[in-house]
Amino acid sequence: MRGNNVTEQSRKADEREQEGLSVEQAEPERLLESYRNELLLHCYRLLGSLHDAEDTVQDTMLRAWRHFDSFTYRGPGSLRAWLYTIATNTSLDTLKKRSPRTLPTAASPAWNPQKPVAARSFETLWLEPFPDSWLIEAAENPEARYTQHESVSLAFLTALQLLPPRQRAILLLSDVLDWRAAEVAQLLEISVSAVNSALHRARVTLEKNYPREQREMVLLHRVDAATNALLTRYLHAWETDDVDGLVALLKEDAILSMPPVPSWYQGREAIRTVLRTAIFPSGVQDKWRLFPTHANGQPAFVVYRSDEATGLYSAFAVQVITLDGSGQITQVTAFLGPELATFFGFPLQLPQ
């Protein structure tokens, strides 16, 4: 897992800049490394992928290290701005070659539970979950339109991916990081009027696809005793093969999706059907183990499935749980892929 000293590293880097020390006097690798996590978060928002974000930040660090001698100190924050410029433009280069990422709920209609579950689709690029442990421990900027946690929520990211790449970057820099229009214009090498025009269009699109009720659900989310009790019941239902108990925790119109499987299901009865036929088949017991974590500012579980061949439990998925204001589960997004467990600090296998 990422270290918990990100804030301290960034603070020391800022102090170094504020003291007016020449960057040539600092150790380049250590100075650049102090910005890795916040750049990773920025690139994840832009790209919607942990893997792509890590690759982009690594490329950013390499480029910055190679050209460090050419960097000119221009006051506090100038190094951060330089790194964000490299990271943003590297991300935009990646997005030129990639389709937008999405979730099954935004890609196709709800699936008939009487039909077989669709095969995994790797032609579509799917959003990936983001570990909350990677979020930067920093005070929220009251001037920003979106909070740090809201801007990594699945609802926000799904809508964000509908924006053209440059609009996406401008909205993130302006409304999440609270950069001034002139700063964004300098980063992207466009005019201030072009920034303001693109930002207006981006906000209009986002408001249409990220409705108020979704935003309120994200903002109202709190992990309290009642929520923890519900999540404990949810975990117990999975591990004891209790389909009815599991369905009882869902809101009437709840949604279950499983990217990269394109089929998704809405409503208790549809979910009950697919759980019984595909996930909890008769005659099989103790198939699942769940471990609590947090992803995208929401409760989550790392899921393991029993492997008869090895006698072990193997990492299978990361489930992200969406709750409404009343504490009911409105959505379960199960990101399938064993490698995701390692991003959350969990092993690929566990003993039975």
CATH number of the structural domain spanning residue 63:
1.10.1740.10
Question: Is the domain of 171 the same as that of 216?
Answer: yes
Domain boundary among 98, 116, 147: 98
Q: Which pLDDT value is given to residue 12? A: 45
The domain in which residue 264 lies consists of 100-179+197-352
Query: Residue with structure tokens 């942990």?
Result: 50
Cα–Cα distance, 14 to 79 (Å, whole number): 9
State the angle between helix axes of 36-47 and 78-95 in degrees (0 to 180), rounded to the nearest 10.
Answer: 30
CATH number of the structural domain spanning residue 159:
3.10.450.50
Q: Per residue in 97-109, is it b (16+ CB within 10 Å) or e — as a string?
A: eeebbbbbbbeee
What mean pLDDT is predicted for residues 9-29?
51
What mean pLDDT is predicted for residues 303-321?
93
Domain boundary among 63, 98, 133: 98
Q: Is the pLDDT of residue 84 over 90?
A: yes
Locate 313 and state its tokens: 């439990």
For the stretch 221-251, pLDDT in tens is 666 788 899 999 999 999 999 999 999 999 9
Number of alpha helices (DSSP H) and beta strands (DSSP E) in the chain: 15, 7
Q: Which pLDDT value is given to residue 349? A: 95
Question: Is the domain of 221 the same as that of 145?
Answer: yes
Domain total for the chain?
2
CA-angle at 89, arms to 143 and 78, nearest 5°: 55
Question: Is the domain of 108 the same as that of 48?
Answer: no
Taken in order 17, 23, 29, 35, the sign of the CA dihedral is positive
Domain presence at residue 186: no
Mean pLDDT across the chain, nearest whole number?
88
Question: Is the domain of 151 the same as that of 284?
Answer: yes
Cα–Cα distance, 14 to 78 (Å, whole number): 10
Q: Which pLDDT value is given to residue 218? A: 66
131-135, 175-179, 322-326, 335-339: segment of lowest average pLDDT = 322-326
pLDDT grade for 21, boundaries at 50, 70 and 90: very low
Locate 348 and state its tokens: 């690929």
Question: Is the domain of 220 the same as that of 331?
Answer: yes
Domain presence at residue 187: no
Residue type, 250: L
Which helix or strand (DSSP H or E) is residue 103 part of?
A: none
DSSP 149-216: TGGGSHHHHHHHTTS-HHHHHHHIIIIIS---HHHHHHHHTS-HHHHHHHHHHHHHHHHHHS-HHHHH
Domain boundary among 63, 80, 98: 98
Q: Is the pLDDT of residue 113 over 90?
A: yes
Domain presence at residue 301: yes
Cα–Cα distance, 320 to 304 (Å, whole number): 14
Q: Is the pLDDT of residue 346 over 70?
A: yes
Q: Is the pLDDT of residue 23 over 70?
A: no
Domain presence at residue 190: no
Question: Is the domain of 163 the same as that of 279?
Answer: yes
